[in-house]
């Protein structure tokens, strides 16, 4: 190989390393963030008075959080009409808010990790059987990666309830509540993604498992009760949906007999980054320099 060609390859290796190190702070400057909130108030299962009897069942609020390989999960199973309030699940450096905080906790660039929290107040939701409804059913999920390379975080908060009941005379059931939702997903650089979603479902089945009614409400102002938002590679840089709405849905007329109602409401987020950290770029650059020096020395030794 000609000496001039060898010098050109060496200079090219040094230029690549210099360019990589110069770009490192830019590649790691963004924040990846996602937030999902699902707050139901005044939840009721409405029917004509005296048409429902023998109510029994359970409630459970559950949370999970994952940051890289760090994980946390909590739950609080309770018997109706008791409420359920699982401890907040957290993973990562934080900082994290206190218990039962269902609003955006930190501005973009502050939260480092994932959290989920849930609560269901006590109460009998069957207004046709002497109940007055449930004041609050809430869940939140939040995750952020401020400047964390090669990382991912997810979290999920869910409220579930199952109740068996008896229809004493033909009746239809109406699910009625007010829901406030908030979804946010934010990225700023390539190889970043963020997603936030909520879901709500209400099912009535016979005791043998045969489904007779499934209600999955969608319309909620500018949003959806089965909705999601996302951001990938900084497009859009921030995707946000907030809405407040009154919701109701009515089942077919149910014949006298025993049934089970299952209720589930969930918030979930996930964020991820494959952006190399400056330390990783430095290691790669050092390797390139070492390789270039090795090749130069090897070529020189062949002349001896």
Domain identity same for 258 and 163:
yes
Q: Are 139 and 157 in contact (CB under 8 A)?
A: yes
Domain identity same for 172 and 207:
yes
HSE-up of residue 285 (Cα within 13 Å, Cβ side): 18
pLDDT at 291 > cutoff 80 = no
- pLDDT for residue 14: 32
Rounded Cα–Cα distance for residues 108 and 92 (Å): 16
Domain identity same for 123 and 8:
no
Domain identity same for 130 and 271:
yes
Domain identity same for 62 and 122:
yes
Q: What total number of domains does the chain contain?
A: 2
Reported as a single tens digit per residue, the pLDDT across 23-47 is 222 223 347 999 999 999 999 999 9
DSSP the chain: --HHHHHHHHHHHHHHHHHHHHHHHHHT--EEEEEEEEEEEEEEEE--TTSEEEEEEEEEEEEEEEETTEEEEEEEEEETTS-B-PPPEEEEEE----TT--S--S-TTT-EEEEEEEEE-----BGGGT---EEEEEEEEEEEEET-SSEEEEEEEEEEEEEEEEESS-B--EEEEEEEEEEEEE--STTEEEEEEEEEEEEEEETTS-EEEEE---EETTEETT-EEEEETTBSSEEEEEEEEEEEEEPPPBPSEEEEEEEEEEEEEEEEE-PPPHHHHHHHHHHHHHHHHHHHHHHHHHT-
- pLDDT for residue 35: 96
Reported as a single tens digit per residue, the pLDDT across 143-187 is 999 865 668 999 999 999 999 999 999 999 999 999 999 999 999
Domain identity same for 124 and 206:
yes
Report, as an integer, the average pLDDT of 199-209.
Answer: 96
- pLDDT band of residue 105 (cuts 50, 70, 90) is low
Residues forming beta bridges with residue 65, ordered by sequence position: 72, 155
Domain identity same for 167 and 115:
yes
Residues forming beta bridges with residue 92, ordered by sequence position: 113
Domain identity same for 88 and 148:
yes
Reading the block at residue 30, the tokens are 């963004």
More confident residue, 168 or 103: 168
Domain identity same for 271 and 285:
no
Q: Could you tell me which of 281, 288, 236 has the C-alpha nearest to residue 27?
A: 281
Range of the domain at 9: 3-22+281-302
- pLDDT band of residue 108 (cuts 50, 70, 90) is low
Query: What sign has the CA pseudo-torsion 13, 17, 23, 28?
Result: positive
3-13 burial: b if 16+ Cβ within 10 Å, else e:
eeebeeebeeb
Domain identity same for 131 and 191:
yes
Q: Are 181 and 38 in contact (CB under 8 A)?
A: yes
The alpha carbons of the chain give a radius of gyration, in whole angstroms, of 27
Domain identity same for 186 and 291:
no
Reading the block at residue 222, the tokens are 């500018």
Domain identity same for 120 and 242:
yes
Residues forming beta bridges with residue 202, ordered by sequence position: 215, 263
């Amino acid at each position: 190989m000609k000496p001039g060609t060898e010098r050109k390859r060496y200079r090219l290796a040094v230029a690549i390393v210099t360019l990589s190190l110069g770009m490192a702070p830019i590649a790691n400057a963004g924040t990846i963030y996602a937030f999902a909130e699902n707050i139901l108030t005044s939840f009721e299962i409405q029917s004509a008075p005296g048409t429902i009897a023998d109510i029994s069942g359970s409630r459970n609020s559950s949370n999970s959080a994952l940051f890289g390989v760090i994980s946390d999960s909590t739950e609080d199973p309770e018997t109706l009409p008791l409420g359920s309030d699982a401890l907040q699940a957290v993973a990562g450096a934080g900082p994290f808010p206190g218990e039962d905080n269902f609003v955006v906790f930190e501005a973009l660039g502050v939260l480092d990790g994932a959290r989920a929290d849930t609560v269901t107040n006590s109460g009998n939701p069957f207004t046709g059987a002497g109940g007055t409804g449930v004041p609050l059913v809430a869940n939140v999920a939040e995750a952020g990666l401020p400047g964390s390379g090669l990382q991912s975080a997810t979290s999920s908060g869910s409220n579930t309830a199952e109740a068996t009941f008896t229809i004493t005379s033909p009746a239809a059931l109406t699910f009625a509540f007010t829901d406030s939702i908030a979804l946010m997903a934010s990225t700023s650089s390539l190889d970043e993604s963020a997603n936030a979603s909520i879901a709500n479902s209400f099912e009535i089945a016979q005791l043998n498992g045969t489904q007779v009614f499934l209600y999955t409400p969608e319309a909620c102002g500018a949003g959806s009760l089965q909705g999601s938002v996302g951001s990938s590679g900084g497009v859009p840089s921030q995707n946000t949906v907030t809405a407040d709405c009154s919701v109701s849905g009515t089942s077919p007329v149910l014949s006298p007999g025993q049934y089970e109602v299952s209720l589930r409401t969930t918030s979930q987020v996930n964020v991820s980054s494959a952006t190399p950290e400056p330390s990783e770029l430095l290691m790669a650059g050092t390797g390139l320099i070492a390789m270039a020096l090795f090749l130069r020395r090897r070529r020189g030794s062949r002349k001896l």
